[in-house]
Amino acid sequence: MAMASMRRGGVRAAQNSMTTTRRAFLATDAAPLKRTALHADHVALGGRMVPFCGWDMPVQYKESIIDTHTHTRTHAGLFDVSHMGQLKLHGRDRVEFMESLVVGDIKGLATDNARLSLFTNEQGGIKDDTVITNGADWLYVVVNAGCADKDLAHIQEHLARFKASGKEVDLEILSPDYSLVALQGTGDLFRPEAAAVVGEHIAGGPESLRGLAFMSGRDTRFDSLPVRITRCGYTGEDGFEISVPTSDAVTLWRTLLQHTGKVMPVGLAARDSLRLEAGLCLYGNDITEETTPIEAGLAWTIGKRRRAEGGFPGADVILKQIKEGVTRKRVGFVLAEGIARAHATVHDEKGELLGEATSGGYGPSLKKAVGMTYLPTALAKNGTPIQVQVRKKFYPATVAAMPFHPTNYYKPTQ
């Protein structure tokens, strides 16, 4: 009876956490909400629509958040991420221009390879994270929905000055003429579910995907539809982000959902719990304009050449931190009991305030609660005991390595 009671209590706690997750997306926006091309399909599928970064997006469908989270881990989840910004840079000096804004080594990107990078400000803070692909004679850039307008203004401001100096680069804004969907899910490592589904429709069939490694992509066709497919995602699983002309988005979406039992639509709430288990940052929470790449544990985004040459906003601050270290670091933590969400206060064993959780929630794959925070460097070691305060009660927690759940990014076999 005691064990049964504990199990029921654990389920109730998880359900309460997921309810809180839904509430987290309910912040209202003054301006009319934008809709993706898939909005009517979300409603028809029972999607619960909520405001998110100025868009009306599905936070959950008919299935529970835990069920859709688990289905993505064991089969494949389908996400509408058309609210994210897509653009291209053309011209002889496009790489030089991009490297004047981000920390990554874009010059060193092989054709059709992609890289996570960071827009930074002059103080070394992170303006946004972005995925950049080298398309041979253009760069394909995807930015976060909540930062899309800010990023575009930032790019355009610098672009005008760059071109005025005699450089050659042009900006092509793909959104909203192009939509973006993500199919995520490893399932069986010997036959990844997302890859098996996409392989039935992609030009060249399943064999054409065997050599497509994590963070690489290409222009191809999905049945008769022209698409840009990139092997990446925000769940820690193998999967794909598929850019498609908006006029074809509904066809693509419905075709993928025809794989009943394999593919399930997934909303924002499960997307958040999946990325949290994978230790992936949420912009505006875990990384902001007040956090640097080094504090955030993202020094790996700055390649050897960029460390030697600098040339990106905030380089003096960031390169000094690489050399001398930082006073705080982003870490993960696991709670022994209770569930903490973003903004829950974090304390040391004596109760002294250290900061607050930047992300947090129940991890359905882990069957326990996890979170992220920034701690003084001296306390940022795995195994350090801390406390998290939730509704005036202190819960014991332990600093833990991330990702909390093993990632399954695809690498071709040699």
Q: Sketch out the chain's domains with CATH numbers.
A: 38-81+177-277 (3.30.1360.120), 327-405 (2.40.30.110)
Cβ atoms of 129 and 289 within 8 Å: the answer is no
pLDDT at residue number 169: 98
User: pLDDT tens digit string along 277-295?
Assistant: 999 999 999 999 999 999 9
- The predicted structure's pLDDT at residue 351: 96
Distances (CA, A) of 178 to 85, 246, 309: 9, 5, 35
Strand partners, 146: none
- Extended strands (E) in 135-278: 138-143, 170-173, 178-184, 187-188, 191-192, 217-222, 225-230, 239-245, 263-265
What integer pLDDT is reported at residue 30 of this predicted model?
A: 65
pLDDT in tens, 163-192: 999 999 999 999 999 999 999 999 776 678
The predicted structure's pLDDT at residue 192: 83
Q: Is 349 annotated as a binding residue?
A: no
CA 275 to chain centroid, in Å, comes to 6
Rounded to two decimals, the pTM is: 0.92
Per-residue burial over 4-17, b = 16 or more CB atoms within 10 Å of its CB, e = otherwise: eeeeeeeeebbeeb
| The predicted structure's pLDDT at residue 8 | 34
Q: Rounded to the nearest 10 degrees, what angle do helices 2-24 and 65-74 cross at?
A: 90
Residues of the chain under the 50 pLDDT cut: 1-17, 19-23, 26-29, 414
What are the φ and ψ backbone dihedral angles of 130, each rounded to 5 degrees? -150, 150
DSSP assignment letter at 303: -
DSSP E strand stretches across 81-159: 85-90, 114-120, 126-134, 138-143
How far apart are the C-alpha atoms of 90 and 184, rounded to whole Å? Answer: 30
Give the position of tokens 């326990």: 368
Q: Specify the pLDDT at position 130.
A: 98
Record the tokens describing residue 184, joined without a space: 């995520």
